[in-house]
Amino acid sequence: MRVADFFCGGGGFSEGFRQAGFEIVFAVDKWEPAVNTYRGNKPGVNVHLDDVIRISQLPDDQFEALVPDSEIIIGSPPCQSFSHSNKSGNADKSLGIQLIEAYLRIIARKKFKPNSVLHYWVLENVPAVKNYIKEEYTAADLGLEGDFVLRTRDGATGKYNAKYFGAPTNRERYLCGEFPKPAATKNDDNVISLKAVLDSLGDPLREDNDIITDINYPDLKIEAQKVTDQHYIYELADFECKTAKRLKQDKGYMGKMSFPENLDKPARTVMATMTASAREAMVLGYGENRYRLPTVREAACMMSFPIDYWFYGESKGIKHTLVGNAVPPKLSYAIAVAIANAEGQAIPSCYLPIHHDENDPDLPFLNLNGAKYEIRKEQPKRIVSKFKYHIPYLIYSAYRVELTNYHSKFDTSEFKWDVEIHYSQGKDKAKVLTPNVNKKSLSDELYERVKSYLEATTPMLPTTYNYFQKLYCMTSEERKAKNKYGPYELLDSIRKFIDASIPQEDHDKIVEIGENVQLPYAILAGYYTMSKIINRMH
């Protein structure tokens, strides 16, 4: 059976169908590295660098001349605007909806034409897209003539996790269209772990040329040094590790994430941007108190790409984007197998190797093996950088004490620092408190300790808001050289002071400080102490 792939990316969706023995007759994407990667791994396929929206709106004769008939159409419209990781799910959805409707327009034009051969179609995207795809589209909805209705949920529509289909990644996706239900091949007891992926490839800096057996395709074996984009290290700087750990394990009310990654579970969702200093950063241990990012090959194996799959990009970042934006081939293979079984079509009994043309002058390939990456140096921040963070790992009864410069006049560089108590989160529950707290709210012993702490820290703190802002924008090494506290150092210092001054069992003891205002004792102490420090500035 023939397959056409729209928004084909680097070919992950098509790869599963290729492995299942289907004939790929057409593919299109508007990003050149994706088209090159597709072409390099699927020689002979009619792949185009073009805009799917434009194609969907072509006159009938031009549309049919460009897009061949096929029994199956697959597609994965770009999902960034629908992802919860993009502006917490509040990104503009208009372009994403246009791309989905362009894909559905193509489906409708092929499905409802005279003598149509289209039997199956699948749309893949992030789970949140379900809320933006209607159950039915009329011809008018899609800007077409006719009286047909395209139903998007007639097949095995639903949410699927790639880890249950053999991919070593916890990647949930929404599939809709007309297709039979794919059969899971794994369960929670036998999913493939991140450790199994890393162990199968070995140390990225290995020098031997022993045979590597693909963790996802056991009959695929390649000499270690011939596995592309694997033999290099991207080590993280200390400041990157601190930022990533703080965001993963102390991000307000968001759940804690492992640092480094939990190797005993499948990999978390592989992101298109392999960033370091972020909550979603995928950080691997690298010796004692050292950390690194996954190689492109490791990420590709997490996504279930075979180790003979090449990614044609001019940089490490482009290659990671090709991997992170893809449909896991193991998931697409399960869909392909379900269709093949429904049609009584035979499935190859073993993995079908990819044959690359290494001498194709139009497809130069950059192999990252042997690449050297210097550890990043921390750079100063822009003077108008914003700050908002709480005393680290100090949250009781949904309260936390935050230090912020958000009330500054950034356009005129008039900076102001404030201390606030934040309660809970969400529109209905979140509150910001700035109570008037005096020494009567503290025990005599704690009050004396606060006085001593303030005296001891005064030399490390500036007397003006503007200088505190300047310190914040310096690098940590610059602050250390000046023996001065920036916001993070101040918060860390206050946390240590609280731990040393208040017994752990008293941290969450509720104290009434005014009418209808009750706070955990550690929160009260943190707020009082930091307010005294900030109020000394002007």
Mind telling me the catalytic residues? 79
Q: Which amino acid is at 238?
A: D
How far is residue 323's CA from residue 401's CA, in Å, rounded to a whole number? 40
How far is residue 269's CA from residue 259's CA, in Å, rounded to a whole number? 15
Six-digit token string for 514: 């005014």
How far is residue 77's CA from residue 177's CA, in Å, rounded to a whole number? 13
Cα torsion 74, 79, 82, 85 to 10°: value is 140
Residue 81, classed as helix, strand or coil, is: helix
> Of 111, 114, 122, which Cα lies nearest the Cα of 5?
122
How far is residue 409's CA from residue 26's CA, in Å, rounded to a whole number? 55
Six-digit token string for 389: 């963070």
> Of 287, 312, 313, 283, which Cα lies nearest the Cα of 298?
283
CB neighbours of 305 closer than 8 A, spacing ≥ 6?
A: 12, 15, 216, 323, 326, 329
CB neighbours of 534 closer than 8 A, spacing ≥ 6?
A: 403, 417, 418, 419
DSSP string, 361-405: TTS-----TT---PPPPP-PPPTT---EEESTT--BTTEEEEEE-
Instruction: Measure the CA angle with vertex 162, ends 56 and 151; round to 5°.
Output: 40
- Burial status of residue 59 (CB atoms within 10 A of its CB: 0-12, 13-18, 19 or more): exposed
**Is residue 492 a contact partner of residue 392, using CB atoms and an 8 Å limit?**
yes
Q: Give residue for tokens 């599963």.
A: 16
* Contacts by residues 262-265 (CB-CB < 8 Å, ≥ 24 positions apart): 262/194, 263/193, 263/194, 263/195, 263/198, 264/193, 264/194, 264/195, 265/170, 265/191, 265/193, 265/194
Report the sign of the C-alpha dihedral through residues 506, 507, 510, 512, in that order: positive
**Is residue 43 a contact partner of residue 55, using CB atoms and an 8 Å limit?**
no
**Is residue 89 a contact partner of residue 63, using CB atoms and an 8 Å limit?**
no
Instruction: Measure the CA angle with vertex 122, ends 77 and 351; round to 5°.
Output: 100
Six-digit token string for 148: 């047909």
